[in-house]
A and B are shown apart, each in its own frame.
Chain A
Amino acid sequence: MRSVVFIAASMFLLAVLGPLLAPHDPTAINIPERLSPLNDDYWLGTDALGRDILSRLLYGARWSLGLAFAISLIGLWVGTLIGLVAALGGKLADWALMRTTDSFLAFPDLVAAVVIAGLLGAGTWSLILALSVTGWVRYARVARGIGLSLQTRGCVIQARLAGLPPGSIARWHYLPWLVPSLTVVWTSMFARAILGISALGFLGFGVQPPMPEWGTMLLDARIHLRSTPLQMVWPGLAVVVSVLAINLAGDALRDAIADDGNQGTRPHREKSRFSLPMPSPRHIRRSR
């Protein structure tokens, strides 16, 4: 657990500090040194245009990890909002929103992302849009599922009786309970976003050259598979290590939450000052 978090954290540190550590300009072309093997000047060699692969990897981390971070957060925000609306918004809203998530789940994410990114024209913004459009669904499902199970809780019923608007109920009585599960979903979506970005980059629909991005670097390296196979190894390795670290951290988090849940810890202290005798849920009409 500790080592996994350490790896994940150091990947991020590398992404943030990349520009300081990179020995060369990632876009500086140096044709005489093209496709050079590992040496003292270029630690991981150079690509077909003589650009330093190590520097490109370090700068690329900002694209691959940074964009994935942003995309997974967009998904988290949108998905939670939609899930909560479905849980709190009544039967019709629930039905419509859940059929929408059905439609999204009934379609391979990556294929949808390829179509969207491809048709909007390759570029960073269409990449973000393409992966966000498909990235909120799982959050919404989880948020709605937990939301529905919270509906009959005492605090929620009391809050309704006290006339708290649905937005505040969602904020104070639903959100704290969603945090652990959503964090676990977030780690897996983060990992998926890294894979998605590099996949789109590899297909030529992602971050555009000369920006270094791991998937695009793989695409460049593919042509030189026979002459300089190592060039292709590095960006792939970077993807695998980051995805693995994030996934394992997510697994550890899930196990920790499962243990915690068994002890019955509550995510936050109830702020309600009311102590009404609790009516049984059957007698309460959903008030809205």
Chain B
Amino acid sequence: MIKDLMGFVLRAVVVLSGTALATFVLLWHAPGDPAQAIAMARFDALLTEDVIDQVREEAGLNAGFWTAFRAWVGPLLTLDFGRSAVTGRAVWPDLLVAIRYMLPLALAGLAIGLAISLSLAIVAVKRPGGWLDRFAIAIASLGTAIPAYWLGLLLILLFAVHLAWLPAMGARTPEHVILPALTLGLGVAASLTRIIRSGILEARGQSFLPAIRRRGVSSRGIDRDHIAPHAAIPVVTVFGLELAFLLEGVVMVEVIFGRPGLGTFLVTAIHARDFPQVQAVIVLTALMFVTVNLLIDVVYRVIDPRIGARDA
């Protein structure tokens, strides 16, 4: 177990440094003059060569590749993301604000997605092949094909424009989170329903179940102790991918609903060519994913003892 864990951590470090280097290379070689873009964002117009040169000096764009890379990575190890090239403000506090807007949305979306997919899958497997089952599969297929931005617009059209029940844009009140979270949750539910459904069906096919049943274990007990844990394994496996899906969804949903979260932060930073901000978002995302994948690997071993045992 300890050895496995070391392996995971090593892998995480490799992945993180690879991502950091790739990000830096990409930004370094991005076409266009970043100094000019930054100067435009800062001073709007009336640019002279002097101003651009001054900005270039300030932003450290004169240095060589490795000097610049070291200057960026060094503070990064202490979670210091530097200062925004456009506003000159420290990146981290602004990023924290963005995360604070993103988290409730992501968590609510995940909760809605889990609730819908669980209930849909459980209803579906009551009678595999029945009309409810086929209905659930059809909904799930349709759900994976509907892009979040279209679904979001449709929900705005229905709930904000026609019915006028919920606010569409912004993030002022808790009510503002409902529509974005619903958009996100429906997408998550669509991809999870199939996995949970097939997980349960597969768990039911385990060869030892009839024996346990004949020993007099109640069907509720079987569901709880033998079906649920087994069906949870594939769900945990895809959770990393699901998180990626969630984050992609967050980017789109925040832009549609005008929420000032991490996605909006990223898109704005890219448009302004604010490299420190873009770098910060990417590194943070990679860090998040590596951590979650690490946790998944551990949880995996806890819920499925066979995995650790097989290696040992």
Task: With A99-B11, A119-B278, A191-B145 as known contacts, state yes or no: A240 contacts B27, CB within 8 Å.
Answer: no
Residues of chain A within 8 A (CB-CB) of B11 are 99, 102
Per a CB cutoff under 8 Å, which of B23, B147, B286 touches A239? Answer: B147
Q: Is A276 engaged at the interface, CB distance under 8 Å to the other chain?
A: no
Per a CB cutoff under 8 Å, which of A203, A225, A240 touches B267? Answer: A203
Residues of chain B within 8 A (CB-CB) of A116 are 26
Task: With A110-B248, A120-B30, A202-B252 as known contacts, state yes or no: A115 contacts B150, CB within 8 Å.
Answer: no
Residues of chain B within 8 A (CB-CB) of A103 are 14-15, 18-19, 22
Q: Is B161 engaged at the interface, CB distance under 8 Å to the other chain?
A: yes
Per a CB cutoff under 8 Å, which of B142, B273, B285 touches A111? Answer: B285
- Hey, what's the 0/1 contact readout for B128-152 against A, CB within 8 Å counting as 1? 0000000000000110111101100
Residues of chain B within 8 A (CB-CB) of A220 are none
Decide if A247 touches B144 in the complex (CB within 8 Å). Answer: yes
Total count of chain A residues near the partner, CB < 8 A: 41
Task: With A115-B282, A121-B31 as known contacts, state yes or no: A106 contacts B144, CB within 8 Å.
Answer: no
The answer for the CA separation of A99 and B175 in the assembled complex, in Å, is: 43
Task: With A236-B153, A240-B150 as known contacts, state yes or no: A99 contacts B248, CB within 8 Å.
Answer: no
Q: Is B247 engaged at the interface, CB distance under 8 Å to the other chain?
A: yes
Contacting residues of chain A (202-252) with chain B, CB-CB under 8 angstroms: 202-203, 205, 215, 218, 222, 225-226, 229, 232-233, 236, 239-240, 243-244, 247-248, 251
Residues of chain A within 8 A (CB-CB) of B145 are 191, 239-240, 243-244, 247
Contacting residues of chain B (192-249) with chain A, CB-CB under 8 angstroms: 240-241, 244-245, 247-248
Residues of chain B within 8 A (CB-CB) of A109 are 244, 248
Decide if A99 touches B252 in the complex (CB within 8 Å). Answer: no
Decide if A118 touches B270 in the complex (CB within 8 Å). Answer: yes
Decide if B285 touches A119 in the complex (CB within 8 Å). Answer: no
- Hey, what's the 0/1 contact readout for A176-213 against B, CB within 8 Å counting as 1? 00000000000000010001001100110100000000
Min C-beta distance of B139 to chain A, whole Å: 12
Mostly helix, strand, loop or mixed at chain B's interface?
helix
Q: Is B39 engaged at the interface, CB distance under 8 Å to the other chain?
A: no
Contacting residues of chain B (261-280) with chain A, CB-CB under 8 angstroms: 266-267, 270-271, 273, 278
The answer for the CA separation of A120 and B26 in the assembled complex, in Å, is: 9
Residues of chain B within 8 A (CB-CB) of A205 are 270
The answer for the CA separation of A239 and B142 in the assembled complex, in Å, is: 11
Decide if B267 touches A114 in the complex (CB within 8 Å). Answer: yes
Decide if B270 touches A114 in the complex (CB within 8 Å). Answer: yes
Min C-beta distance of A112 to chain B, whole Å: 8
Per a CB cutoff under 8 Å, which of A114, A120, A226, A243 touches B266? Answer: A114
Contacting residues of chain B (36-64) with chain A, CB-CB under 8 angstroms: none
Decide if A225 touches B147 in the complex (CB within 8 Å). Answer: no
The answer for the CA separation of A198 and B245 in the assembled complex, in Å, is: 16
Task: With A100-B18, A226-B161, A248-B141 as known contacts, state yes or no: A115 contacts B26, CB within 8 Å.
Answer: yes
Per a CB cutoff under 8 Å, which of B19, B22, B142, B247 touches A244? Answer: B142
Residues of chain B within 8 A (CB-CB) of A120 are 30-31
Task: With A195-B147, A202-B149, A247-B141 as known contacts, state yes or no: A107 contacts B285, CB within 8 Å.
Answer: yes
Decide if B270 touches A119 in the complex (CB within 8 Å). Answer: yes
Per a CB cutoff under 8 Å, which of B32, B142, B248 touches A108? Answer: B248
Residue of B nearest to A188 (CB): B144
Decide if B18 touches A108 in the complex (CB within 8 Å). Answer: no
Min C-beta distance of B240 to chain A, whole Å: 8
- Hey, what's the 0/1 contact readout for A81-102 against B, CB within 8 Å counting as 1? 0000000000000000001101
Residues of chain A within 8 A (CB-CB) of B26 are 115-116, 119
Decide if A108 touches B285 in the complex (CB within 8 Å). Answer: yes
The answer for the CA separation of A272 and B266 in the assembled complex, in Å, is: 56
Decide if B144 touches A218 in the complex (CB within 8 Å). Answer: no
Task: With A108-B247, A114-B270, A229-B157 as known contacts, state yes or no: A236 contacts B147, CB within 8 Å.
Answer: yes
Task: With A100-B18, A236-B154 as known contacts, state yes or no: A203 contacts B255, CB within 8 Å.
Answer: yes
Contacting residues of chain A (42-67) with chain B, CB-CB under 8 angstroms: none
Residues of chain B within 8 A (CB-CB) of A198 are 147, 149
Min C-beta distance of B255 to chain A, whole Å: 6
| Most A CB within 10 A of own CB, among B149, B154, B156 | B149
Residue of B nearest to A243 (CB): B145
Min C-beta distance of B166 to chain A, whole Å: 15
Min C-beta distance of A262 to chain B, whole Å: 16
Decide if B266 touches A111 in the complex (CB within 8 Å). Answer: yes
Min C-beta distance of B210 to chain A, whole Å: 24
Decide if A225 touches B156 in the complex (CB within 8 Å). Answer: yes
Per a CB cutoff under 8 Å, which of A118, A222, A251 touches B153? Answer: A222
Name 25 A/B residue pairs within 8 A (Cβ), A-sorted: A99-B14, A103-B18, A106-B15, A108-B248, A109-B244, A111-B248, A115-B270, A115-B282, A120-B31, A199-B248, A218-B150, A222-B153, A225-B153, A225-B156, A229-B161, A233-B154, A236-B147, A239-B150, A240-B146, A240-B147, A240-B150, A243-B145, A244-B141, A248-B141, A251-B141
A-B complex: 10 closest residue pairs judged by Cβ atoms: A236-B150, A118-B270, A110-B248, A244-B145, A243-B145, A108-B244, A119-B30, A103-B18, A106-B289, A103-B15
Given pairs A103-B18, A218-B153, A236-B153, 10 additional interface contacts (CB within 8 A): A99-B14, A107-B19, A111-B247, A114-B266, A115-B26, A120-B30, A199-B147, A199-B252, A202-B149, A205-B270
